[in-house]
Chains A and B, each alone.
Chain A
Amino acid sequence: METALGYFLISWTDPRLLVLIAVGTFAGIYVGAIPGLSVTMAVSILISFTYAWDTNEALALMVGIYMGGVYGGARTAILLNIPGAPAAIATALDGYPLAKLGEAGKAIGITTVASFFGGFVGILALAIGAPLVAEIALLFAPRDYMLLGIMGLLLVASLSGESLLKGIIAGALGILISMVGLDTMSAQPRLTFGSSALLGGVSYVAVMIGMFGIAEALVQLHGLSAPVIRQKVDRVLPSLATVLRYLPLSLRASALGVWIGALPGAGGDIAALMAYDHAKRSVKNPSRPFGKGAYEGLVAPEAANNAAVGGAFIPMLTLGIPGDAVTAVIIAALFIHGLRPGPNLMVDTPHLFWFTVGNLTLANIFLLIFGLTGIRLFAKIVEVPKAVLLPIVIVLSVVGAYAINNNITDVYWAVGFGIFGYFLRVYGYQLGPVVLGVILGPIVESNFRRTMIAVRESWIGFALELVSHPITLILLLGIIISLLRGTPLWPQLRARFGLRS
């Protein structure tokens, strides 16, 4: 135990490492905030950059960037309605309406505290439950990932706006978009119209930037002459009472985030969407209606995506299995630094586990400090006249789309989906379901196909698979209950079985 504490404190007592984590977290917040620049990209650039460095120093910097980056996406989501990263999509749903109400400062403040809290829960789960959680995560079969994806897709119901039917159309359209490109399972091009530029598919970040950033900018042009919204920046730090009020929700969302983060096939983006869905279903009296500036709609996804950071490290540090794209790059970095990530990592390099836990804790503290400073300045961005702000948002969207893969095709997609999204919006189709479909479509489809292959294409075998495994059965029941709750049948069922809400 003493050695563990010693490893934990390595970075706390070494000023060089301390500075590196601080720099990393700070840089991460801005990398995360800028659409198109991803943490995955930043960390892989760092591999070459830190080639000759000591492993500990490289890791400290990477962990800082990771923690800061997951949080940073919320900034632009709230201020400009462009999620800086996919993990911040759910944050935009209620964050941007808050900015329109003049509460951008308060929104960023609460987001920061929620992220800090979520990050802390994630670290705690990593420190205490890592081996157990990792083993359970391995038990998730393709059928379970499929059901998780379907659970996420149920969010379409609450993102549909005026018409559920239009929401379903939009969601299915999103899934179709996600299917464009080379199907690696069969090495067959799908929906590419014979163009090899389409073989790589449509980047979901490009769709996200187009549908949120560009389409929103076009919609905003309607009210060009409307007076700018004065931002209230007198109280940006949430009061203790506010924090306590959202504590139970933060805790539930964080727990969800840790789990999703620990699953090797799902990361912070899905965790945040599912947490948003959870908040929407479980919070009876939100501060405002969801989608119109509910603080609950900010707290849940932000707590969940930062909790997913600790979660993603669970299978990585215990089994050498990446929990998401960033941890995959960190694993590659470990190889280059002469380590052998795998189930024996903790035996071969015993310091690594507690060293990382210590770094994450530090990064989380820096996140709180950097996150709570400069909010007033940032909130003022929304006060820039629209005639100036909107063209800049469009240029930033274009650069961001290009930066994803250094590919001009992604820019065309972003602009194309921006214009298409604008028309969808004005005709009452919400864009949230489209983006949801693009992100979750591949998880549902590929895992459905895997399950079907495993039962040799038999629908009966498929149905049996769904009811004969405990984890699967729990997920299935969760979906059924969610569906029933939306129908008039639910109150009757509740009365008959005496279920408490």
Chain B
Amino acid sequence: MDRPRSSHPGELAFTVLLVLGTLVLGREASRIDGLSGPSSPAFGPLAMVAVVLLGLLVELARVAFARPLERPPPVVRLRRLAATILPLQVLSAIALLILYLIGLELLGFVGASFLFLAIAIGSFWRERPLRSRVPAALALAAGTVAVIRLLFQELFQVLLP
């Protein structure tokens, strides 16, 4: 971990995922009709897929070789992953974000945003004692939603979902 060009925890898996994703994009790019010449619509996407893929393969080789010879037990590696890449609060924020998107369709902007803000602020704001945190989170959420709605919908005619 101390060497500057060594790998981050889980980087090998991430790079492999990127390679796979690029291959999917490449397959889709190759479906674009006609590679008659450099001006054809498929030329640019295929060229860029080639650049990304080439770069990723070099990265892949580097990460594979940068891996330490002696591997710590899985528990240690998992803990290291959690500390540097995916701490609990990030994981929960991502989950909350996805729920927010689903809520946006079901409850509309006002309801979903209020819930998202209230839950997120309420759970992240650890410095405050629970008793004052909950009402503060609710008030902040309501205030923010009200201001955003006023600004976007009334002033700029954005019809919020």
A and B touch in the complex (CB under 8 A): yes
Contact with B along A380-400 (1 / 0, CB 8 A): 000001111011101110110
How far does the Cβ of A403 sit from chain B's closest Cβ, in whole Å?
A: 5
Of all chain A residues, which has the CB nearest B100? A398
B37 engages A190 (CB within 8 Å): no
B48 engages A175 (CB within 8 Å): yes
Q: Is A42 an interface residue (CB 8 A)?
A: yes
Interface residues of B in 21-59 (CB under 8 A from A): 25, 28-29, 32-33, 36-45, 48-49, 51-52, 55-56, 58-59
B156 engages A169 (CB within 8 Å): no
B41 engages A186 (CB within 8 Å): yes
How far does the Cβ of B67 sit from chain A's closest Cβ, in whole Å?
A: 14
Interface residues of A in 416-463 (CB under 8 A from B): 418-419, 422-423, 426-428, 445, 448-450, 452-453, 457, 459, 462
Bound Cα distance from A386 to B93, whole angstroms: 13
Bound Cα distance from A14 to B109, whole angstroms: 43
How far does the Cβ of B23 sit from chain A's closest Cβ, in whole Å?
A: 13
Bound Cα distance from A37 to B156, whole angstroms: 8
Most buried by B among A175, A399, A411: A399
How far does the Cβ of B84 sit from chain A's closest Cβ, in whole Å?
A: 7
A452 engages B156 (CB within 8 Å): no
A408 with B126, Cβ < 8 A, contacts A398-B104, A403-B156 known:
no
Bound Cα distance from A31 to B156, whole angstroms: 9
A428 engages B8 (CB within 8 Å): yes
A176 engages B52 (CB within 8 Å): yes
B156 engages A41 (CB within 8 Å): yes
Q: Is A377 an interface residue (CB 8 A)?
A: no
Chain B residues positioned under 8 Å from A450 (CB to CB): 39
How far does the Cβ of B50 sit from chain A's closest Cβ, in whole Å?
A: 9
Contact with B along A165-183 (1 / 0, CB 8 A): 1101100110110010001
A402 engages B161 (CB within 8 Å): yes
Chain B residues positioned under 8 Å from A45 (CB to CB): 156-157
A457 engages B39 (CB within 8 Å): yes
Interface residues of B in 1-20 (CB under 8 A from A): 4-5, 8, 11, 14-15
A419 engages B94 (CB within 8 Å): yes
Chain B residues positioned under 8 Å from A192 (CB to CB): 28
Bound Cα distance from A179 to B97, whole angstroms: 27
A387 engages B124 (CB within 8 Å): yes
- Interface segment among A3-11, A221-229, A251-259: the answer is A221-229
Chain A residues positioned under 8 Å from B45 (CB to CB): 176, 179, 190-191
A457 with B117, Cβ < 8 A, contacts A42-B156, A387-B124, A445-B44 known:
no
Most buried by B among A192, A427, A452, A462: A427
Bound Cα distance from A190 to B47, whole angstroms: 14
A218 with B156, Cβ < 8 A, contacts A165-B59, A388-B121 known:
no
Q: Is B152 an interface residue (CB 8 A)?
A: yes
A408 with B104, Cβ < 8 A, contacts A169-B52, A387-B124, A396-B148 known:
yes
Q: Is A303 an interface residue (CB 8 A)?
A: no
How far does the Cβ of A384 sit from chain B's closest Cβ, in whole Å?
A: 10
Interface residues of B in 125-161 (CB under 8 A from A): 125-127, 140, 144-145, 148, 151-152, 156-161
Q: Is A406 an interface residue (CB 8 A)?
A: yes
Of all chain B residues, which has the CB nearest A396? B148
Of all chain A residues, which has the CB nearest B8? A427
Q: Which of A222, A403, A453 contacts B87 (CB 8 A)?
A: A222
Q: Is A415 an interface residue (CB 8 A)?
A: yes
Bound Cα distance from A49 to B33, whole angstroms: 45
Chain B residues positioned under 8 Å from A378 (CB to CB): none
Q: Is A370 an interface residue (CB 8 A)?
A: no
Q: Is A193 an interface residue (CB 8 A)?
A: yes
Q: Is A468 an interface residue (CB 8 A)?
A: no
Interface band, chain A:
35 or more
Of all chain B residues, which has the CB nearest A187? B41
How far does the Cβ of A314 sit from chain B's closest Cβ, in whole Å?
A: 29
A34 with B104, Cβ < 8 A, contacts A45-B156, A395-B116, A423-B14 known:
no
Q: Which of B29, B56, B98, B105 contacts A169 (CB 8 A)?
A: B56
Q: Is A501 an interface residue (CB 8 A)?
A: no
A385 engages B156 (CB within 8 Å): no
Q: Is A185 an interface residue (CB 8 A)?
A: yes
Q: Is A412 an interface residue (CB 8 A)?
A: yes
B48 engages A172 (CB within 8 Å): yes
Q: Is A487 an interface residue (CB 8 A)?
A: no
B158 engages A403 (CB within 8 Å): yes
Q: Which of A166, A391, A399 contacts B109 (CB 8 A)?
A: A399
Bound Cα distance from A400 to B48, whole angstroms: 29
B84 engages A426 (CB within 8 Å): yes
A411 with B101, Cβ < 8 A, contacts A190-B41, A399-B109 known:
yes
Bound Cα distance from A34 to B49, whole angstroms: 34
Chain A residues positioned under 8 Å from B56 (CB to CB): 169
Q: Is A188 an interface residue (CB 8 A)?
A: yes
Bound Cα distance from A437 to B4, whole angstroms: 27
B124 engages A406 (CB within 8 Å): no
Chain A residues positioned under 8 Å from B107 (CB to CB): none
How far does the Cβ of A143 sit from chain B's closest Cβ, in whole Å?
A: 13
Q: Which of B11, B29, B160 contacts A399 (CB 8 A)?
A: B160
How far does the Cβ of B154 sit from chain A's closest Cβ, in whole Å?
A: 12
Q: Which of A176, A415, A427 contacts B25 (CB 8 A)?
A: A176
A225 engages B160 (CB within 8 Å): no
Chain A residues positioned under 8 Å from B101 (CB to CB): 411-412, 415
B124 engages A391 (CB within 8 Å): yes
Interface residues of A in 197-237 (CB under 8 A from B): 214, 217-218, 221-222, 224-225
Q: Can you show 22 pairs from A to B with CB atoms below 8 A apart?
A: A41-B156, A173-B48, A173-B52, A188-B41, A190-B45, A191-B29, A193-B28, A388-B125, A390-B93, A391-B116, A391-B117, A394-B120, A396-B148, A402-B161, A403-B156, A411-B101, A423-B85, A426-B84, A427-B8, A427-B11, A427-B15, A453-B39
Q: A45-B156, A452-B38, A452-B39 are in contact. List 4 more A-B contacts (CB 8 A).
A: A169-B59, A172-B52, A403-B156, A408-B105
